[in-house]
Structure 1
Amino acid sequence: MFSELSPMKLLAIAIVAVFVFGPDRLPEFIRNATGTLRRVRAFADSAKQDIRAELGPEFKDFEFEDLHPKAFLRKHVLDGDGLAGLEDIRNALDPWPELGEVAASLRDTAGGGQQSQTPGAVSLAKAAEAPPSTRHAFDPDAT
């Protein structure tokens, strides 16, 4: 939570606190702030204990931190022995096998002019131009 607070930042906060509250009232303010923080923590702990008591004995090992999405996934999707089904999902969503097939068919078609054995392969060979009699004239006034 406070990992990015360097000693210089803490010193700057202390200097600003001395200027804002004054050297006489600063200790009293710190005592009030820590007392309030203790009361909030005690209230949160008692609320957690009340919820655990209401859930019953089957939820005695229930942790509220497990409700965080990352912790939930870590606990339920990732087993102790590794990934549970995640490897199958990763393999199913991997585009490289299909891309390899497409690349191979393109290489076959472009390389030797031979048709690929892959069904549904696309030919990149340039089609012969249509004879002039079957070409449609372009009308610039029509557009």
Structure 2
Amino acid sequence: MFENVGFSELLVLVLAGLFILGPERLPDAAAWLGRTIRQVKEYATGAREQLKNEMGPEFEQIRKPLEDLRELRNFNPKQAITKHLWDDQPDEKPNGHPSTGYPPVPTEQAPPQRPLAHNERPPYDPDAT
């Protein structure tokens, strides 16, 4: 819940609470906040367990797409591109083609190049210049 709150943000929140509530009421407010958060977590856990008991195996079928959505929230484009570029095995789809779904484009094999002999001029391509 407070994963993205750093020390400086927490310090600002404590100082704001100290100024707003005063030093006498701040400990009581912090205790109330802790109890409330704990109670909300217990309600959520109880609701999840009740759904799991009532739905049975269908609960897992519903939970799987929600887990996929949670993974999208933590999506790192740099990591995905690196994996895509440097992964040896492409993702195979059921049709047997790579992850794009299209068959791979056939590539022509270039003739092997031989080293130039002494004083031999390299080939010249007027269209390439």
* TM-score normalised according to structure 2 size: 0.51
Identity of aligned residues (%): 21
Could you tell me whether the CA contact under 8 Å between 2:93 and 2:99 is conserved in 1?
A: yes
C-alpha separation in 1, matches of 2:14 and 2:37 = 19
Alignment partner, residue 25 of structure 1:
25
User: Unmatched 5+ residue regions in structure 2?
Assistant: 73-88, 108-125
Alignment partner, residue 77 of structure 1:
none
The 1:18–1:67 alpha-carbon spacing in structure 2 relative to 1, beyond 3 Å, is same
How many equivalent pairs are there?
93
RCO higher in structure (CA 8 A, sep ≥6): 1
User: Unmatched 5+ residue regions in structure 1?
Assistant: 74-80, 101-109, 112-143
C-alpha separation in 1, matches of 2:61 and 2:50 = 12
The aligned amino acid for 1:85 is K
Give how far 1:64 is off: 3.9
C-alpha separation in 1, matches of 2:2 and 2:103 = 39
For the pair shown, the structure with the greater C-alpha radius of gyration is 1
The aligned amino acid for 1:10 is L
Give how far 1:92 is off: 2.0
The 1:93–1:46 alpha-carbon spacing in structure 2 relative to 1, beyond 3 Å, is farther
Query: Cα deviations across residues 67-120 of structure 1 (Å, max 9, x unaligned)?
Result: 1434578xxxxxxx98352962326298xx59x9xxxxxxxxx94xxxxxxxxx
Alignment partner, residue 42 of structure 1:
42
* TM-score normalised according to structure 1 size: 0.47
Q: Superposition RMSD on alpha carbons, in Å? A: 4.1
